[in-house]
Amino acid sequence: MTTTAIHSAAHRAAHPERLLEPDWAEITAITPETEDISTFWLRFDGAAVQERYRYQPGQFNMLYLPGYGEAAISISSDPHNPQRLVGHTIRFVGNVTRAISRLKAGDRLGMRGPFGVPWPMHAIEGKDVVIASGGIGLAPLRPAIYHILHNRERYSKVILVYGARTPRDLLYSNEYDSWRKADIDVQITVDRADETWSGRVGVVPMWFYHFRVDPRKTALLTCGPEIMIRFVVFEALARRIPTDQIYVSLERNMKCGQGACGHCQLGPYFICKDGPVFPFSALERYFNVEEF
């Protein structure tokens, strides 16, 4: 056995035998978001890896905690953030994510990535952009919002419709005002209100009943629970938004992130490499087939 220190991406490129090994990254800070969701800010151990690491809105990493395994986690930070920290907003649901929840700043995680097809930020320039998301589904869309903030003039109307179960489950609520200031129409809705809540109550797809979209010039980006995505797409189609202007980000069990382990297949697609973001036109054939 040869002990090798931290591997850099360049090192891996030179040594393809390391393709399935992670780089190590330090947790520089943890931002609690809700009761069971926090954002973990990571910086690679090797300065060179950190310097080279680039990602686009909608991509994800495989985060690894030895002994527990890997989890696919979207990047939720601003690709242009000055410290170049990579943010991951993680919901603690099971084995790996609960173990991550016990980590503290200064601890390390393995990280492979970035993987996947990003949101089509260039293709949708000039359009009205509707971002519809629910729950943790806002995490992969936040980098898209940041991108729009940096390039606001490239997009026409921008509307964010975001829903969570209760007001306490809303992500990033301290940022909504700054988004509104940048002329993003932020519509927040919850399934169940509490005494603090004076906003809208209802599910995300309901939004379509309150607003009018111009189908030809609207692009829809959506991510959230699959059931929400189904209804959002249903409403969007009913309003004649073309299928190639509807983009959805999907989730399936995932082990490698590189279209090799087979797990995330949906028909001909490997969601990890052909997605997770798809134009609905590519999915149409399979999306409504139960348990496909």
Ligand X SMILES: Cc1cc2nc3c(=O)[nH]c(=O)nc-3n(C[C@H](O)[C@H](O)[C@H](O)COP(=O)(O)OP(=O)(O)OC[C@H]3O[C@@H](n4cnc5c(N)ncnc54)[C@H](O)[C@@H]3O)c2cc1C
Answer yes or no: are the C-beta atoms of 125 and 155 closer than 8 Å.
Answer: yes
Stretch that binds ligand X, among 2-10, 92-100, 148-156, 193-201 (CB under 6 A): 92-100
- Is residue 248 within 8 A of residue 229, CB to CB? The reply is yes
| 191 near other proteins, judged by CB under 8 A | no
Q: Does 215 contact other proteins by CB under 8 A?
A: no
Residue 146 or 287: the one with the smaller Cβ distance to other proteins is 287
**Shortest separation between residue 265's beta carbon and ligand SF4, angstroms:** 6
Segment holding 112, helix H or strand E: strand 108-115
Q: Which is nearer to ligand SF4, 202 or 262 (CB)?
A: 262
In the complex, the smallest distance separating the C-beta of residue 195 from ligand X, rounded to whole angstroms, is 28
Does residue 70 touch other proteins according to CB under 8 A?
A: yes
DSSP strands (E only) in 165-238: 185-190, 200-201, 218-223
With a CB cutoff of 8 Å and minimum separation 6, the contacts of 33 are 39, 89, 171, 172
Helix (H) or strand (E) holding 228: helix 226-238
> Among residues 94, 126, 199, 202, which is the contact residue for other proteins, using CB under 8 A?
94
| CA angle centred on 129, ends 128 and 134, rounded to 5° | 150
Q: How far apart, in Å, are the Cα atoms of 177 and each of 181, 186, 227, 279?
A: 6, 8, 28, 30
Contact 23, 7 (CB under 8 A): yes
CA 31 vs CA 100, 168, 201, 208, 236: distances in Å = 13, 15, 27, 32, 34
99 binds other proteins (CB under 8 A): yes
Question: Which residue from 251, 275, 278, 283 is in contact with other proteins, where contact means CB under 8 A?
Answer: 251
Q: Is residue 130 close enough to count as binding ligand X by CB under 6 A?
A: no
Task: Tell the smallest beta-carbon distance from residue 28 to ligand X (Å).
Answer: 18
Give the residues lining the site for other proteins (CB under 8 A). Answer: 1-5, 7, 16-22, 24, 66-70, 93-95, 97-99, 102, 108, 110, 251-253, 255, 258-263, 265, 267-268, 270, 273, 285-286, 289-292
Give the residues lining the site for ligand X (CB under 6 A). Answer: 60, 69, 71-74, 89-91, 93-98, 136, 139-140, 251-255, 276
